[in-house]
Structure formats: structure tokens, C-alpha cells
Amino acid sequence: MPISLDGMEIKNITVLGSGIMGHGIAQVYAMAGYNIVLRDIEQKFLDKAMEKIKWSLDKLVSKERISLEEESKILSRIKPIVDLKDAVHDSDLVIEAVPEIMDLKKKVYAELDKVAGDQVIFASNTSTLPISEIANTLSRPDKFIGIHFFNPPQLMKLVEIIPGQKTSDDILNLIINLVKSVNKTPVICRKDVPGFIVNRLFIPLVHEACYVMERQKIQQVEIDSAVKFNLGFPMGIFELADYTGMDVIHKATIEMHLRDKKVILPHPKIEQLFNEKKLGQKSGEGFYKYSDDKYERISLSEELGKKCDPTQIIANILNNAAWLVTNKASDINEIEKAANLGLNLKKPLFETANEIGMQKIVNELKKLSEQYGAFYEPDPLLLSMC
């Protein structure tokens, strides 16, 4: 189902990078009828990605969400290709999902800019890197935009859209329609801030959970259980970090912290796990151990959750949500929508905060800032809500 707007049409999409996000994005668009080229630097990565797509489609068949016939049509719409020039030959849009390293992205875009026709639109699935900085390296900054999916793209409803300073309104509108055409909900991040909306909430939280473990002297399953059963997350925060991948969390941390010291207080545990190659589910171990690299859940309980006071955790996420509002990157309704659809949070953040008590949360932040420094100072929005 191609979409078009003011003479621009999108029918053929190339996805660069076939990792966790890339293969999922390719599947989402193939399911909606687009012709996909999935590109990676080695055939073995593409083979693994196609296996994962098959696993996911088989799941959907087993749940009768698609038929076997549809599954084979979807698979036939995805062409794995290694050569970059061949991969973008017929492309209307390239969605880039290569690792979150600015120098690597710039290198990929420099190559891409040369081989792709002038009319081709570029969209980055970057989770943290500044859109305008990448755009400025391109011959087509008006045709470049951030389009950030959530893991697993097959199941998560949200797509953040981040226009750069020079993105044209036509491209913005076309991409909004494109996201809606695959049955996802777009939320626009109004400012190109580190982490955009959801990662500004999620990535710092992984570090904060490490501090809670250290300061409250409790186990990670206890924190995860509290996060799941008291704060309405579908997974514990360490479980989600393992599911996302410590490489992703670590690289996002570095890039976000480089640009804004206030967003995140890095805990050494993340770098340590990354250096030890304990990348989470995909490597068999992260915070938890896994039997293989297939989808696996951690056993958590309401009982275990009682051992953890989650005030510091909610205080951290709320302070970052408030920062987004104070700095005009978003508003409370859009943040709640993004947290609901991008993290599958069952309960709105500010509702949980009001149940716990805004004054209690602000007091916690003040206490933490006296003990551990200015990072914890409460945002003026939270102060005004007491």
C-alpha cells in the first residue's frame, strides 16, 4: 500500500542495518505491503535477521493474526542485499538503523548520499543522536528526519518523529502519514533533545535502578518486581535493559551524557556489563542469565516487589518528564501517550506520582540532591505541582 502526498510516493523502502530494530522495522513495513530491501554489511547478519522475522511471523500465525499465506507473501516482499548501491537502487525511502555511534552513522550517510538518487528520503531510527547534526552532513537536509521505533517494533505502537531544523514540512507530513499507514501512532518530539521523549525517560532509569540496588541494598528481582507491580511497567527495568541490549543502553548513555550532563547520572555497572560482553538476552547474560538468545521472561512477583521502595525510581523518571515540558520538547499529554505506547506503561506517570504524593517525590529529590549533587535537583515544574 504505497502512500503519496503532493507528488511524492513511498512504495519501496530500504532498511539499513538488520539488528534488533532493523529487522523488526523491515517486518512492520513488509506486513503493510511495502517492498523492502534489508541491507547489512555481511550475509550472515541478514540470514540471522530473516530467521528472526520468520520466528515473529510464525508467532503471529499461531495467534491467528495473519494466515500462512500472508506470512509467505510478507517474506517474499523482503529482499536481503549486502551491496549498498544495489540496496538503494529503487528506493523511495531509506530507514537507517545502524549502531548508535555518531562517526559510524556519518560514514554510512556519506556513502549513502553518493549512491542514492537525489529524490530519495532518508530517515534515521537513531534513539539519541541529534537529527540536525546528521542532516548537516548531507546534500539533502530538507529530506532527512528522525523516525524512532521501539523494541519490539512488531508489537510496540509508538513511533517518535523528530524533524531536524531543515526538514521540510512536506517530508514531515509524508512521514506522519507513512507511520499511520503501518498502524502505528506518531508522536512528534518538538525539539531535537538528547534521548527525545521516551529514551529520556528510559535510559536514565536503568542507571537509577542500579543506584537503588546499591543504596537500598536489595536484589535486582526485587526492584524489577516493584517496577512491574507497583509502577505499571510490563517488564522490570533490568529485564527491559537486557531485552534492549547493554550495547544499545551503553552507547545511548554515552551519546546522551556527552550532550547533556543533566539527563543521566551514569552508573559504572552498565559500562562494566558492556565491557564484559554481557549484553543481555542476545549474549546469554546481562543483569540476568538466559538459556539462549530467544525471547525469554524473568519471573517476578508482587511479594518480591514489597522489598523495594520505588520512590527514587519514579522521582527520576518524573524529573526527566518535567524537564521535557519545561524545555518545550513536549507536553504532559504527549509524554503520557509516548510512555503508554513506547514503554507499554499501564498507568500514566503523573497518576502514579499523585498516588505516591508529589510532595513526597520532590522531598526525595531534594534529599538526593543534598546527598549526591545537583543532578537530582527537582525540575521547577514538579515544584510548582506541590
Q: Tell me how far, at minimum, the Cβ of 250 lies from ligand 3HC, in Å.
A: 11
235 binds ligand 3HC (CB under 6 A): yes
Collapsed DSSP state (helix, strand, coil) of residue 384: helix
Measured from the Cβ of residue 60, the count of other Cβ atoms closer than 10 Å reads 18
CA–CA distance, 360 with 231 (Å, rounded to integer): 16
Amino acid at 69: E
Give the nearest distance from C-beta 181 to ligand 3HC in angstroms.
20
Please answer whether residues 256 and 195 qualify as being in contact, where contact means their C-beta atoms are separated by less than 8 angstroms.
yes
Given the residues 124, 199, 225, 320, select the one marked as catalytic: 199
Interface with ligand 3HC, residue 234, by CB under 6 A: yes
The CA–CA distances, whole Å, from 315 to 113, 312, 324 equal 43, 5, 14
Residue nearer to ligand 3HC on the CB measure, 122 or 150: 150
Contact string 187-206 vs ligand 3HC (x = CB under 6 A): ------------x--x----
Clarify whether 42 is annotated catalytic.
no
User: Total number of residues binding ligand 3HC (CB under 6 A)?
Assistant: 22
Span interacting with ligand 3HC, options 70-78, 152-160, 173-181, 304-312, rule CB under 6 A: 152-160
Is 160 catalytic? The answer is: yes
Whose CA is closest to 16, among 113, 82, 103? 82
Residue 69 known to be catalytic = no
For the four alpha carbons of 134, 138, 141 and 145, in that order, the dihedral sign comes to: negative
Minimum distance between the CB of residue 322 and ligand 3HC, rounded to whole angstroms? 20
Q: Which of 91, 127, 316, 340 is catalytic?
A: 127
Residue 207 annotated to the active site: no
Rounded CA separation 56/234 (Å) = 19
Is 152 among the residues that bind ligand 3HC (CB under 6 A)?
A: yes
Tell me which residue has its CB nearest to ligand 3HC.
127
Q: Which residue pairs, CB below 8 angstroms and at least 24 apart, start in 174-180?
A: 174/3, 174/5, 174/6, 174/8, 174/10, 174/121, 175/121, 175/123, 175/145, 175/147, 177/3, 177/5, 178/3, 178/10, 178/93, 179/147
Q: H or E element: which one contains 108?
A: helix 102-115
CB 226 within 8 A of CB 312: no
Considering only 197, 221, 248, 256, the residue that binds ligand 3HC (CB under 6 A) is: 248
Q: Contact, 184 vs 157, CB < 8 A? A: yes
Q: Binding residue for ligand 3HC (CB under 6 A) from 114, 191, 261, 297? A: 297
Spell out, one character per residue from 131 to 150, where the chain touches ligand 3HC: x when CB under 6 A holds, - when not.
-------------------x
Give the amino acid at 73. K
For position 183 contacting ligand 3HC by CB under 6 A, the verdict is: no
**Active-site hit among 100, 160, 255, 364:** 160
Query: Shortest approach of ligand 3HC to residue 75 CB, angstroms?
Result: 14
CB of 83 to ligand 3HC, least distance (A): 28
Is the Cβ–Cβ distance between 94 and 121 less than 8 Å? yes
Residue numbers at the binding site for ligand 3HC (CB under 6 A): 56, 59-60, 127, 150-152, 154-156, 199, 202, 234-235, 240, 244, 248, 295, 297, 342-344
Residues with catalytic function: 127, 148, 160, 199
